[in-house]
Amino acid sequence: METALFLDKLILVVSVFGASLGIAMYSTLAERKFAAFFQDRLGPNRAGLFGILQPVADGVKLFMKEEIIPAQANKFLFILGPSLFMITALMTSAVIPWSTPLDLGDRTMELQVTDINIGLLYVFGVVSIGVYGIMIGGWASNNKYSLMGALRASSQMISYELAMGFSIIAIIMITGSMGLKDVVNAQSTELFGISGLNWNIFYQPLGFLIFIICAFAECNRTPFDLPECEAELVGGYHTEYSSMKLGLFLFAEYVNMFISSAMMAGLYFGGYNFPFMYELGLSQNALSILGLVAFMTKILAFIFFFMWIRWTIPRFRYDQLMHLGWKVLIPLAIMNLIATGGVMTFMASK
Amino acid sequence: MSGITLTNRKKVLEKKKLSFSESLYLPAIFGGMLITLKHFFMKKATISYPDVKRPFSKVYRGKHVLKRDDQGRENCTACGLCAVSCPAEAITIVADERKKGEEHLYREEKYASVYEINMLRCIFCGLCEEACPKDAIYLTEDLTPANFTRQDFIYGKDKLVQPLNESCHPKTNQPYIKDGKPYEYKNPVYTK
């Protein structure tokens, strides 16, 4: 039994790792393709059919490029920066529940690497460590633009984590648990007589709005991509990076995007729950696989939304960013929290 | 001074306070997203150049062609008027005398043994075409493709002279239409 559990987890870890990297890889192509479509262009279409081999070509190019470490840079920290950023980006996926358990005859296989009862706290903790990757990388480069980018990244991420945390607390209050699986399972009940539609978005629309804005800021995506704002800071925190170390920074951004899409889908859009999931009378395995498909569809939709926003809205000014974070989103999130608490108390007293 | 403007399109910018819905930004962002989504499904403006070629106008001035006559002989007599008329001084001609037995190659007694156009200098103005008294040089619809060295941009007779067995309209390089049918060029039969 122990070996079976070990094998299950091993398969799960490897496939989650592969899926994160694979989706991140094709996100780079999707980003370029969608950018082109939004601008009435065709996008990369030379490498393979519709350019599907483009990420491979880009990856090979990044590996082949000359590796430059600036003479004045702190070599150890310079290498540590992108590694840390990538590791933390990949670590977050450990607590995400991918679907309902698979029935393997003698045992059931949970489609979640680990179900810790503080899953949400874990995600926040790991995401916060991700700031160190940028900060260390930017500082170790010994370049003023890198340092400015790193400073911007860290202050932005810390500011927006507050509002994000407040919007999450409302979810925790509704669910009464910090485990991600509990949060997702709580959304599988009936709403308007349709099973699997009891999504948190219907209870927390404002919370979701705050969460998605903060997710954009956390991922350093437009309109909050000031840390790598090329018009002012050359390349921001990765100005001095080249070859695959630059690749890791860029790649980790896409992994982060995938993870935060998964978080948004799981916390607010029912995760692997889909409408009519119990009315259809499916077997446990079919339900599990369909749930995974539903979850992936939601994640991909959010990734598309990330890109859609990027090619629509221009970048914020830095004081506007701070104004939005501290003076708008945090008060709004606290108001949302108080309102949620008030409604819950009112409902409980009835 | 006041009241007099050059174009009458002057607009005084006033800084109004944003209304509540404007200060939310969300309606504006949503409107912007609808615009980009509309473009997502629009027909793309790009022409995939080497695969698809844009049709050019009949008067387009591209790569030059040195014409042959209906018996396959080069029209050019190396008078040098094209080189003289060229404002960019891109044309170099070395004239030579036609020898006995070369009557099937050159129409006149004199011909250009070297005819070079430097495509980096050429401004495709078409003055050579207008200057030519012998109908020998025309600018076609073809483009001059990119090259790696400057030397490769100097087009000699190998690239400029119209290939044998190919009859084409002097302007478009398209086959002649004669009596509603494409006119096929036949190799001339020469008798000594």
Do B40 and A38 count as a contact with CB atoms less than 8 A apart?
yes
Mutant choice from B20, B39, B52 vs A, greatest count of A C-beta within 10 A:
B39
Distance (Å) from the alpha carbon of B59 to chain A's nearest alpha carbon? 29
CA dihedral for A234, A240, A243, A245, sign (positive or negative): negative
Read off the pLDDT band of B120 (50, 70, 90). Answer: very high
Q: Are A219 and A252 in contact (CB under 8 A)?
A: no
pLDDT at position B181 is 63
pLDDT at position B86 is 92
Beta strands in chain A (DSSP E): 99-103, 108-111
Q: Which residues from chain B sit within 8 angstroms of residue A40, using beta carbons? A: 39, 42-46
What is the distance between the alpha carbons of residues B107 and B186, in angstroms, rounded to a whole number? 17
Give the pLDDT confidence of A138-195 residue by residue, as tens digits. Answer: 888 888 888 888 888 888 888 888 898 899 898 888 888 888 888 888 888 777 777 7
Please state the three-class secondary structure of chain B as a single string: CCCCCCCCCCCCCCCCCCCHHHHCCHHHHHHHHHHHHHHHCCCCCCCCCCCCCCCCCCCCCCCEEECECCCCCECCCCCCHHHHHCCCCCEEEEEEECCCCCCCCECCCEEEEEEEEECCCCCCCCHHHHHCCCCCEEECCCCCCCCCCCHHHEECHHHHECCCCCCCCCCCCCCCEECCEECCCCCCCCCC
Other C-beta atoms closer than 10 Å to the C-beta of A227 total 24
pLDDT at position B187 is 45
Read off the pLDDT band of B175 (50, 70, 90). Answer: low
What mean pLDDT is reported for chain A?
Answer: 86
pLDDT at position A6 is 84
pLDDT at A95 over 80: yes
pLDDT at B168 over 80: no
Nearest to A40 among B33, B39, B48 (CB): B39
Q: Which residue has the higher pLDDT, A80 or A277?
A: A80
User: What is the set of domains in chain B, with CATH numbers?
Assistant: 64-182 (3.30.70.3270)
Do A313 and B44 count as a contact with CB atoms less than 8 A apart?
no
Mean pLDDT of A36-47: 87
Distance (Å) from the alpha carbon of A146 to chain B's nearest alpha carbon? 31
pLDDT at A288 over 50: yes
Mean pLDDT of B60-71: 83
pLDDT at B192 over 60: no
pLDDT at A79 over 60: yes
What is the distance between the alpha carbons of residues B53 and B47, in angstroms, rounded to a whole number? 7
What is the distance between the alpha carbons of residues B165 and A127, in angstroms, rounded to a whole number? 72
pLDDT at B31 over 60: yes
Q: Taking the mean position of all CA atoms in its chain, how far away is CA B6?
A: 40
What is the distance between the alpha carbons of residues A96 and B175, in angstroms, rounded to a whole number? 67
Mean pLDDT of B33-51: 86
Q: Taking the mean position of all CA atoms in its chain, how far away is CA B29?
A: 45
Q: Which residues from chain A sit within 8 angstroms of residue B33, using beta carbons? A: 308-309, 312
Torsion on CA atoms A331, A334, A335, A337, rounded to nearest 10: 160
- Which of these ranges, A168-172, A202-206, B157-161, B163-167, has the smallest mean pLDDT? B163-167
Spatial neighbors of A336 by CB under 8 A, at least 6 apart, are A166, A167, A170, A204, A206, A207, A210
pLDDT at B189 over 60: no
Mutant choice from A38, A224, A305, A320 vs B, greatest count of B C-beta within 10 A:
A38
